[in-house]
Amino acid sequence: MEQRLRRATRGRVAALATLGLMLATGFVAGAAPVQAADTNLVVNGGFEDGLANWFVNNGNAADGAQLSATSDAFSGATAAHVTNRATTGSGPMQDLSGKVQAGQAYTLTARIKYANESGPATKQFFATMHYGGGTYTNLVSVTATKGQWAQFSGTFTIPATQSVSTARLFFETPWTSTPSTDPALHLMDFTLDDVSVVGAAPPAPASKTIEVVGKLPGEHNPLIGHKFGADGFGLVHDGRVYMYMTNDTQGYAPNPTTGVSPGINYGDINQITVISSEDLVNWTDHGEIQVAGPNGVAPFTANSWAPGITKKVVNGVEKFFLYYANGGGSSNVITGASPLGPWTSERTSTLIDGRTPGAEAVAWKFDPAPFVDDDGQPYLYFGGGPASTSMPPAERFNNPKNIRSIELGDDMVSTEGTAAVVDAPVAFEAGHVFKRQGKYYFSYSSHFGGNDFGGSQQPLPGYPGGGQIGYMISDGPMSWPKEAYAGVLFPNQSQFFGAGTGGNNHQSVFEFGGKYYFTYHAPTLNKRINGNTTQGYRSPHIQELTFNPDGTIQQVVGTYAGVDQVRDFDPYRVFEAETFGWSKGVATTKVDGGSAQFGGAAPNLVVRDVDNGDWTALSSVDFGDSGARSLTARVRALAAGGQIQVRLDDVNGPVVGTVAVDTPVGQWAEVSAELTGVSGVHDVYFTYTGPAGADLFEIDTWAFQSATVDLPVTVTASTRCVGGTAYVAVQARNDHDAPVGVSMETPYGSRSFAAVAPGANAYQSFTTRAGSVPAGSATVRVTGAIGGQDVTTVRTVQHPAGTCGG
Ligand SMILES: [Ca+2]
Ligand SMILES: [Ca+2]
Ligand SMILES: [Ca+2]
């Protein structure tokens, strides 16, 4: 028996004292496996794919070691070699979470060798499972002879009561608290090969698909009904709003029978969910960024809560900086080449932590929110949690001084100087800053009181109650005395959405199209799934933010109606099918390859879990007076007999076209159908039919074709100044798959381009020969061929007035 408990000094708890799960260590030759199934759960156990799927034990920050591929293999060409071991737990690790099951028996085999000259003649090694937290269990042991390959071979049974949501297999030497006193005995390098864990096949993952209609047709909150998302932070870029959210869906695991998930576990969350919209009602799902964890962009972080994002030109390149909370203890940042990535980590350690000057007394160094001022100077706001116990009790409650502001470096991934106190009344978390008409606005979430906030819990007059969004107004981004407090901007969401929707909140503010918008979360989708007993899974909401003449904010009222759609949806382009105004019964998944709409470097998702009776819908689609001729979809049939019905304005509205998904099963293909009577502005419902009980198909993109055959071209016009002279600049991008001719006409001249290549731009800047230009228009005529027919498309584009200074 090799099972034993690690001492508390190693941060492990005594969870397994009597479980008797160490079985038959090493010596079961000839014994039949307990399990009849013989699935090997270890990937790349022979290391013939190098170190793929393996990493160094990350259960303990001090367990850092180096893993390399070696040709000194027991079999095949490669094995894994571990060096620079700092603790006895330093060793190769593979994550078997989601594969091993409680109550099941497994057979483990592996080959191991050590050869250090100063080492002992024989040495015991363990295969150990880390079940998360402080729970470690030795599974199988072997005693190796120096310089020779030894074989692990044994079975182990996971106790029926063991939580296996985290299950990481690793190899190590027997524990001692001070291995450095005799490194030759305890910290030798070793080599591992041919690892297998054979037993019951992994359980099919429980479906996370939201079966209810989580966002009701006609309503605009929550923003999406097919997944969760919390702590939303809005970014406006290039005519779109991007929302970055804590991926509350990550740990969502509804029981297949009851439909009820265990309560949310923030510790499970290491991804950030991204959605975007150009109209605030139809949202495109961009999937999740794997930010933290062993395979994350920043693998030195474990969690990715409460994102905050901004953009800045650094060294001439526009970059996107995505900040997030690495649990409560620290905050970090990753860098994107676009709002949709690709993402990289410029840092190898956390940005905000216990070493950050001025943050020493902050209990939770989390919730980082960036703000770039008009002069380009960036700032970061962070912090929260219980007030310092060294403060007087009354002050701990009313003015806990637990939030900070700090300057960011020009690189956006470092801080400068010392953090300053944000003295926000009754503050708890979720600091955020925006600027309007020269004034800075700091908003935050207030605490719920309790012992953490001292004995005297009498709120000062006007101060916020628990779980509310308060705000302050200041003339400077680092100046937040308590006198700047301006009131409650948003009461707790339960005041609007009722039982089951209480809890914390986290807000942001963005300006879009001349209006201000307020983002917050509420577990409204969770409530639609489970009624008033919710499990903490939160959904993003948006309301408009309006200001009084004195600059104070009118208190926001939370509604399911949400905000107005700011523009009609343009159907005459290829757009992602994972764009919904509303949906029922579908899910999304990321697929290889880039996005047809957002570019090859952007992630692409498809709509999946499409059953008979499921549907997706788009709000307020403008088909124009002449209307749509046809619909094209890129689909992958999964069963014969599936169809896509197109309906207008209601899920039960008349069918105006039917796409037969009759392409070969399993292959991506384009399918299309003619449409009748589709013109003007309508909500569009895609309703899915086919054999019951089967996944019908997946959908990647949609495109409607105009009844007026039209060459796809994107035309823009702007005004600019060169040397005090106003110019009208006209650009036409050829979105067609063949060359087109382009001619541009303006009051200031005209120009023709003979053959503009697919994807290329025709561009001309026309001088007005004057210092200013009134608003006006340019006409762009595009000629080309579609299906052998010559087609001319004429576009008129407006440009604004412009006056050149000086
Ligand atoms: Ca091998
Ligand atoms: Ca479904
Ligand atoms: Ca897609």
pLDDT in tens, 252-289: 999 888 899 999 999 989 999 999 999 999 999 999 99
For residue 528, what is the DSSP state? H
CA distance 342 to 322: 12
689, 645 contact by CB (below 8 A)? yes
In the reported structure, the alpha carbon of residue 696 is separated from the centroid of ligand 2 by a whole-number distance in angstroms of: 9
Question: Residue 788's pLDDT is what?
Answer: 67
CA of 561 to the centre of ligand 3 (A): 27
Q: Where are the beta strands (DSSP E) in 71-213?
A: 79-83, 92-95, 105-113, 122-130, 136-145, 150-157, 168-172, 190-199
**Residues 242-253, mean pLDDT to the nearest whole number:** 96
Query: Taking the CA atoms of the chain, what radius of gyration do you get in angstroms?
Result: 30
Joined tokens for residue 399: 């003015």
Rounded Cα distance between 427 and 482, Å, is 11
Query: What is the model's pLDDT at position 469?
Result: 98
Task: Report the separation in Å between the CA atom of 673 and the middle of ligand 3, taken as the mean of its atom positions.
Answer: 19
Six-digit token string for 495: 């005041």
Do the Cβ atoms of 508 and 234 come closer than 8 Å?
yes
Q: Which region among 370-379, 427-436, 498-507, 784-793 has the lowest average model confidence (pLDDT)?
A: 784-793
Q: Which of 406, 236, 412 is nearest to 315 (CA)?
A: 412
Task: Give the ligand whose atoms come closest to the C-alpha of residue 597.
Answer: 3
Is 184 in a helix, a strand, or coil?
helix
- Burial class of 396 by CB neighbour count within 10 A (0 to 12, 13 to 18, 19+): buried
Cα(781) to ligand 1 centroid in Å equals 64
Give the distance (Å) from ligand 2 centre to CA of residue 499. 28
Task: Report CA-CA distances (Å) from 81 to 54, 110, 129, 175, 720.
Answer: 11, 14, 19, 20, 62
| Angle made by CA atoms 188, 193, 194, in degrees to the nearest 5 | 150
Per residue in 542-580, pLDDT (tens digit) is 999 999 999 999 999 999 999 999 999 999 999 999 999
Look at 150-154, 707-711, 777-781 and tell me which has the smallest mean pLDDT. 707-711
Q: In 3-state terms, what secondary structure has residue 763?
A: strand
Classify the C-alpha dihedral 527-529-532-535 as positive or negative: negative
Taking only the tens place, the pLDDT of each residue in 59-87 is 666 677 999 999 999 999 999 999 999 99
- Whether residue 382 is predicted with pLDDT greater than 80 in this model: the reply is yes
Two structure tokens written together for 356 = 């950050």
- Ligand 2 centre distance from Cα of residue 535 (Å): 22
The catalytic residues are: 231, 429
Q: Which ligand is nearest to the CA of 595?
A: 3
The predicted pLDDT at position 806 comes to 57
User: Nearest-CA neighbor of 50 among 68, 27, 34, 35?
Assistant: 68
Task: Considering every ligand atom shown, identify the ligand nearest to the alpha carbon of residue 594 and give its number.
Answer: 3
Which ligand lies nearest the alpha carbon of 602? 3
In the sheet that holds 283-290, the strands lie side by side as: 230-237, 240-246, 271-277, 283-290, 579-580
Distance 193 CA to ligand 1 centre (A): 5
Q: How confident is the model at residue 353 (pLDDT cuts 50, 70, 90)?
A: very high
pTM above 0.85, yes or no: no
